[in-house]
Structure formats: C-alpha cells, structure tokens
Structure 1
Amino acid sequence: MFKFSKEVQQLLEYIGGRENISTVSHCATRMRFVLRDPQKADIEKIKGIRVVKGSFTQAGQFQVIIGNEVATFYNEFVQYAKIEGGTKEDTKSAGRQNMNFLQRLTSHLAEIFAPLIPAIIVGGLILGFRNIIGDIKLMNGGTKSLTEISQFWSGVYDFLWLIGEAIFHFLPVGITWSISKKMRTTQILGIVLGLTLVSPQLLNAYAVAGGAEIPYWDFGFAKVQMIGYQAQVIPAMLAGFVLAFLELKLRERVPSAISMIVVPFFALIPTVLIAHILLGPIGWEIGSWISKVVYAGLTSTFKWLFAAVFGFAYAPLVITGLHHMTNAIDLQLMSEFGGTHLWPMIALSNIAQGSAVLAIIYLHRKNEEEKQVSIPATISCYLGVTEPAMFGINLKYMYPFLAGMIGSSIAAVISVGTGVMANSIGVGGLPGILSIQPQYMFKFAIAMLVAVIIPFLMTIFFSKSNKFKKEK
C-alpha cells in the first residue's frame, strides 16, 4: 500500500501525464522534472496537493518541493507512473536543453563550485576563529590576545593554519579535480594538474604579488616563469577545462589497447606546459581585472548604490540560478585583497528573506497547515538555504519577497558603507557572522539586525496594504 497514493496520482495528472515527463529525479527535498511541454503543468493545482510545499522552475527543471519524505514520494511516483527515474546528472543535462547560453554557463559554474563549498565554509570559520584568538586584544585589559598569554591557544592558532592553508592556498587542486569530475574525465589527472599549479618548487603567488624575483625554467630557446597560482580561481579553471578537452578528444582517437598510456601522457604534459606558459598569466590578469572592478564598485564614492542594487537584486538572482557566479568572484576577491565585501551582503539577503517568512508565521499564526512549511523554511533560511522560504512562502504571496529585498538592500548599504569584510564564504545566514573579520563583527551585527527588523515590519505593513489584500 502506497503512503502517498492520492498525491502521486494528482501530481502525475497535473504535471501533464507520463508522456510529458522527459526525465525525473530528486534531491534532498525536491522532485526534479524536465518536462517536454512545461505549459501543460497546472502549477496552481500542483501547489494545492497536500504534501507539496511549493514549486518553481530553475536551470531548465520544474521542481516540486516535497520535504524530507521526498525519497519515499519519488519511489512511489516512478512506480505508479511506470517511468524510469534518472539521476540528478541526467536531469541537469536534459534541463540544459531548455536554457539559454548564460543559464547554461551559470549551471556549469554551479556544478564546479558546489562540491567545494563545504571546505570553503570550514576554511572561513577557521580563519574567523584564528582572528578572534590571535588578533583581538581580549585579555589583560584589552592589551593582549589569547595567543599571547596562553601556549595552548597559541598552539591551536598555529595548528588551525594547517587546515586553512590546505583549503585556500591549494584551492586550484579542488577546482581542477571538480572540473575533471564534472566532465567525467580522469579525476586523478585533475588533481595532479592542480598540484602542478601550487607546487612548492614554484614561487608562491603571494610572493609574486609582493614583488619577489621570479625564477624560471630555461629551455635554451625559451624561458618560462616558475610562478605558483595559490588561491587563484581562473587560471585553475582554464587549465582544468583544457585538460578535460584534450583527454576527451584523445579518447575518441586513440585505440583502447594503448589508451591507458597515451591518453594521460598527451593530455597532462601539454596542459601543464600551456598552463604555465599561457593560461596561468592570462587567467591571473582576467581574475585581477574582475576583482579590481568589483572591489572598486564596493569601495568607490558610489559604493552605497552598488550595495543597494546588489542587496535588492540578489534574491531574484537566486531564482534564476545566476547567484552561483558570485562564488568565483568572492574567491578572487579573497585572493587579491585578503577578504570579500561581497559575501556579507549575500548572508544579509538570506537573513532578510527568512525574516519575511517569520512575519508570515506571525500574521498566519492560526494557520497550522502553513506552519508546516513556514517554520522549517525560516530555520533553513537563517542557516543559509533560502529556496524553501522563497519558493514555499515568499513568492506565493509576493509581498514578503519584496519586503525581504528592501530589507536586504538597506542592510547591504550599511554593510558596505561601514567596510564590512569577510575572511571567506561562510554559512550564509545568522552564523555568517563567524566568517566576518573581527574588527567588523559589531558593524555586521547591526546590519544583521536591520535585515531581521525591516523585512519583518515591512511584511506586516504590506499585508495591510490594499495592493496586497488578495495575497496571491
């Protein structure tokens, strides 16, 4: 006996029947469909199904939010519909057929950086903790840090750098590995390529930036600079894609009997040469240009305008999936300037959307059915995952979404206006303060308070406005 018999039947009918489903898979909370004709899906009826907490279209996929029981629901759905379920990769590949060039580019970037985010978050928290115990004068009347008066904390400070250095200095290894994984090429070759970009044999990228004399390989007819690309994003991405391209092309042409020897050799060695001769220097310049343009926008006379626009527009970017592009920019800013002004605004946007849902909980406190969606969505949002809040509640009523955007914009102006900088990407919600550099924590706390209060109050105000009376 199926647990969701009625709901499964309804979803199949409202989505346009099995003949309208190109492929289907699921993730932690959502059913992911690629539909042959998206217009056949009756969104309003789908949202009315008892177990459905919302729906949206992203990355060419029609996604239906089910919640923690999505795996059970999915198994019953494919069994009832008599269709063969696919993997998330199959769904993503099929979904790209419905996307334009920019959406496809963003989707690829997201898949490269998504596996790296947990490590980067851990690294940011570690750097933040090291700053607190090593840089803030907490002891002896505000004259000494914990590391200066305690050998234990001094040891902790030094030990944690082992992890921080591995995450950020050797980031190119993670990027080239992730690209090889995404492109379904040999992952160990991706790792080896990344290691050749950060080898101790090379002059460290930070020393290069400091003006140190650069050694070189002398081939007689040419000299190649021995520069490392620690923490560099774009050189690693360019090299990773060249390696994957060469390997895939060689696989097509080399007989299988000798491919184990020929393909890795003629893919890796030319890529390493090209990376150090051409891709590395070009990628460094591109990365520096991008980070300097963004940094100028965040520190110029008109930084308040940049912050206001970014804070207001970030939540809509999440809907389109374009927000994934900010990961590469954040990492480049960290490499160039030792931190990022951009990521704190992202955390504030998440908090603002969660606060708008909090107001809906207050306004609809007698609606027990809605609480099953709104309360978990608020908690999730405050911990950095906004989709349940935005698609399950805020976009349903629209005015909470707008209130969150306005609150985010105001909080972003405060954050950028006071120079708040994060050590790195962190947990994109209330715990995000742990990734903020210590001297800016109080200022960021004020911006967080604004991101909580303004959306909450504006949601209540909008709910009483005639323009939003229908709450549709």
Structure 2
Amino acid sequence: MGKYQVEAQQLLEFVGGKDNISMVTHCVTRMRFVLVDPSRADVEKIEALKLVKGTFTQAGQFQVIIGNEVSTFYNEFTSIAGIEEASKEDVKEAAKSNMSWIQRLMANLAEIFSPLIPAIIIGGLILGFRNVIGDIKMFEDGTKSLIEVSQFWAGTHSFLWLIGEAIFHFLPVGITWAVTRKMGGTQILGIVLGITLVSPQLLNAYAVGGDAVAPFWDFGFAKVDMIGYQAQVIPAMLAGFTLVYLERFFKKITPNAISMIIVPFFALVPTVLLAHTVLGPVGWAIGSWISNVVYAGLTSTFSWLFAGVFGFAYAPLVITGLHHMTNAIDLQLVAEFGGTMLWPMIALSNIAQGSAVLGMIYVNRKNEEEKQVSIPACISAYLGVTEPAIFGINMKYGFPFLAGMIGSAVAAVISVGTGVMANSVGIGGLPGILSIQPQHMLMFAVAMLAAVVIPFILTIVFAKKKLK
C-alpha cells in the first residue's frame, strides 16, 4: 500500500472522479488539474484533507497545493486514477478551454515572453552594474567614477556592454524566435526574420530624426528606408505572427514534394518586405503611443493617482493573468526612455503580498501546520513569485490580500512620486533593487520599507478585528 493511497483516493473522489479529469500534471509544490466541469470539484472537502495546504484556480487550471511531497503523491494519484502522465505544456493547452478569450490572449502573450525573461533580467542587472561603476562619482572628492580611476573596471564596463547590447538591441531576434516557437512555426525562420530587423547594415532606429540620413533600397518604382527596429517589441511581434500565418497558409496549398523550397521562401521573403514597409512603421507607432501614454501617466500631475491605482490593482491582475501584458510595456518603456518606472511598482506589489503573509506567520505563530505553507510562500513572494502567497494564504483569508494591496499602493506612490526608474525588468521582489538605476536606489529602498511594514501591520490589525 502506497504512502498516500488513501489521500489520493479521496482527492480523486473530491475532484469529481476520473471522468471529470481532462489532464493532470504537477509542479514543485502543486497538483495542476484541467477539469471537465470545475464546478464538480468539492473545494471544502479537498481543503479539509490533511495533506492539502490550499487550492486555487488560475489560467484554467484547478491547482491543489501539496508541498514538497507532490511528486510522490502525483505518481500514486495517477496510478490509482488510471490517468496517463501529461506534460505541463499539454496541460496549459488543455486549460485554455476553461479560459475566456482575454485570458487565452494573455496566456499566449505570457508564453511568448516567458523564455525571454531570464535574459532580460540578466540584462537589467548588467546595465545597473555598468551604471554604478560608470556613472557614480565616488572617487577623488566625488569628481570621478570607478572606470575613470581603474583601467580594469573601464575594460569591464566596455566588455559588459557586449552582453547588454545583445539582449536589448537585438531583442527582436528573441521575440520573433519566441513567437514561432509558441505558434508552431519554423524557429530558424523566426531567428532569420529577427536578424533582418536589426541587421548592422540598417540605420539604428534611434538615429532617425537626428543628423543621420537613412539609406534606402531603390526598387525603381519605390524606395524603402533601411531602418532597423533595435529594441522594439511590437514590430517584432507583428512580423513574427505574419511569418507564422504565411507559413501555415503555404503549407496547406503546397505539395509535400516541393514544400521544403516553396514554404520557407514564400513565408520569409514577403514577411521581411512587409516588416520594413508596413509592420515595422505601424508597430513602431503603436509601441510609441503605448509607452508615451504610460509615461505621461507616470510623470503627469496626477502621477500619484496613476501609481496608487496601479499599485492597488496589480495583485488582482495576477489572479486574472492580465499582468503578463506589463512585460511588453516595460520593454517598450526601456526602448523609448532608457528605463521603466512601471516595473519597480510590480516588484513592490510582490514584496507587499509577501509581507502580508509575514503578518499571517506572526498571527498564526503557534500553528505549526499553517507555517508549513506560509513560510515558503513568504520567501517565494520576496523572491518575486507571488502565486503561493496570493492563492495559498492571502486569498484564503481575504484580509491579508487587502493589506498587501494597500501597502503596494502606498509604496507605488512613493516610488513614482520620487521618479524611481529601473534599467529593465528584474527579479520582482527584494533583489529587485539591483535593477534600479543607482541614483534612485535610496528612494526605492524607502518604498520597499513601506511595502514591508504597512502590509505586515495592517494584516495584524485586521486579524485582531477579525475582518473577513
């Protein structure tokens, strides 16, 4: 008899039986179900199981928090239920049947940007480090920076730009690859397409409007400017989607015997032409409009209101999945303005939700079973992953979630009110300060303090008043 045979049998019954399970997989701590009819799952009975530490539904998946024993439990569960093992990707695709169209759109957007996040985070840290050693005058009575007094650090500063440039200026290559990867296109064609948007023979997009005169391709009847789309997000996404759909179209109408020649040619060449004549200029205009609107909101007279609303509402956005759209906006802000004021508020929201859990750890300090869930959730939130904190603790009780939202709003007002700007997207928790531009680190630290203290105190106060 297996270690968790009884609990596995009970969970199978409480989720509605085998016929109510479309697919199931697991992650580090959770069972992740795609249910045929989610309403058949008896949440109260499931959460009453001693092994279960909480449940929540996100992105069309009914998730049951088990803990570190989840892999062993999963094996016994699938054996008892007679269900075949499914990959996380299969479960994600199946879960989309339980989503609204906007949730599906955001899920697809998230899956495009997810593979790029590690590089973007590293890029932000590198830019931050270069700013510290290159811009802060901390030697010879505050007149020289580190690179001005040390050849080693001057060389390091120059060398690190090789990586920073590769990540941010050539970002369209990563985006077009990620689009083709997600949409099932030919990935090498996506890479080639991305390179055609940032080729060295093209004039850097950010030189346009200055003294530089753009070269052009002369087709006799028309001229096309040779302008690149370095660091641009939307032009690359539009080009990537166009490539995928053209490839699908020509695959359908081309005989297999010649498809290896016809499909790549008629998918890639027209896409590159469209990218430099229509998609690029249109995408640039859309991206500039979005970034200008957001930047105006963050720097206007009512920036405090914009910041407060965003800080208060970000955690609820995480529940819906709509928060994934901020990645594209952040990258566009970095491209247009050399940094983003939006991402620091996201990091502060994560910290605030973690601090609300910290408050619950204090409230339930004598409850050893509760601490098994709350302590890892708190640590996870402080390191930028808030789902265990939000769904495992804060949403379960309600008032910690509200406390985190209030603390996040206050911290966001402090951050935006003092002009805090990040080099790029970073680690969305306490380590996020490493991605903040050096001149703003002190005020971001103040905002972080607010994001820690306010939710912690409010959670304890709400708990004493037994707020539901």
TM interval, shorter chain, is over 0.9
Q: Distance in 2 between matches of 1:284 and 1:139?
A: 41
TM-score (norm 1): 0.97
SS of the residue corresponding to residue 50 of structure 2 reads coil
Cross-structure match for 2:391: 391
Cross-structure match for 1:321: 321
Cross-structure match for 1:425: 425
SS of the residue corresponding to residue 467 of structure 1 reads coil
> Could you tell me which amino acid in structure 1 is paired with residue 66 of structure 2?
I
Cross-structure match for 2:243: 243
Cross-structure match for 2:299: 299
* Pairwise CA distance, 1:466: 4.2
SS of the residue corresponding to residue 22 of structure 2 reads strand
2:42 maps to 1:46: no
Cross-structure match for 1:205: 205
CA contact (8 A) 2:407 2:454 kept: yes
Cross-structure match for 1:228: 228
* Pairwise CA distance, 1:430: 0.4
SS of the residue corresponding to residue 25 of structure 1 reads strand
Q: Distance in 2 between matches of 1:197 and 1:69?
A: 47
> Could you tell me which amino acid in structure 2 is paired with residue 136 of structure 1?
I
How do 1:313-352 residues align onto structure 2 when only pairs under 5 Å count? Answer: 313-352=313-352
- Between 63-72 and 293-302, the greater mean CA deviation after superposition: 63-72
Cross-structure match for 2:262: 262
Cross-structure match for 2:35: 35
RMSD of the alignment, in Å? Answer: 1.2
Q: Distance in 2 between matches of 1:283 and 1:312?
A: 30
Cross-structure match for 1:282: 282
Q: Distance in 2 between matches of 1:185 and 1:406?
A: 44
Q: Distance in 2 between matches of 1:303 and 1:99?
A: 33
Cross-structure match for 1:77: 77
Q: Distance in 2 between matches of 1:274 and 1:430?
A: 43
* Pairwise CA distance, 1:348: 0.2
Cross-structure match for 2:460: 460
* Pairwise CA distance, 1:5: 1.5
State how many pairs are aligned: 468
2:8 maps to 1:14: no
Q: Distance in 1 between matches of 2:31 and 2:209?
A: 47
* Pairwise CA distance, 1:311: 0.2
* Pairwise CA distance, 1:53: 2.5
Q: Distance in 1 between matches of 2:51 and 2:163?
A: 43
Q: Distance in 2 between matches of 1:116 and 1:96?
A: 22
Q: Distance in 2 between matches of 1:416 and 1:323?
A: 19
Cross-structure match for 2:55: 55
Cross-structure match for 2:191: 191
Q: Distance in 1 between matches of 2:343 and 2:115?
A: 18
Cross-structure match for 1:368: 368
Residues 145-174 of structure 1: CA deviation (Å, up to 9, x unaligned): 111111111111111111111000010000
Q: Distance in 1 between matches of 2:48 and 2:327?
A: 35
CA contact (8 A) 2:180 2:190 kept: yes
CA contact (8 A) 2:354 2:377 kept: yes
- Between 443-452 and 253-262, the greater mean CA deviation after superposition: 253-262
Cross-structure match for 2:379: 379
Residues 248-285 of structure 1: CA deviation (Å, up to 9, x unaligned): 12222212221111111111111101111110000000
Q: Distance in 2 between matches of 1:223 and 1:415?
A: 46
- Between 389-398 and 40-49, the greater mean CA deviation after superposition: 40-49
- Between 384-393 and 39-48, the greater mean CA deviation after superposition: 39-48
Q: Distance in 2 between matches of 1:84 and 1:257?
A: 37
Gaps of 5+ in 2: none
Residues 225-249 of structure 1: CA deviation (Å, up to 9, x unaligned): 1110010000000000010111112
Q: Distance in 1 between matches of 2:111 and 2:436?
A: 26
TM-score (norm 2): 0.98
* Pairwise CA distance, 1:211: 5.4
CA contact (8 A) 2:399 2:467 kept: no
Q: Distance in 2 between matches of 1:3 and 1:264?
A: 54
SS of the residue corresponding to residue 455 of structure 2 reads helix
Q: Distance in 2 between matches of 1:211 and 1:21?
A: 63
* Pairwise CA distance, 1:302: 0.5
SS of the residue corresponding to residue 448 of structure 1 reads helix
> Could you tell me which amino acid in structure 2 is paired with residue 311 of structure 1?
G
Q: Distance in 1 between matches of 2:159 and 2:102?
A: 42
* Pairwise CA distance, 1:2: 2.5
> Could you tell me which amino acid in structure 2 is paired with residue 195 of structure 1?
I
* Pairwise CA distance, 1:59: 1.4
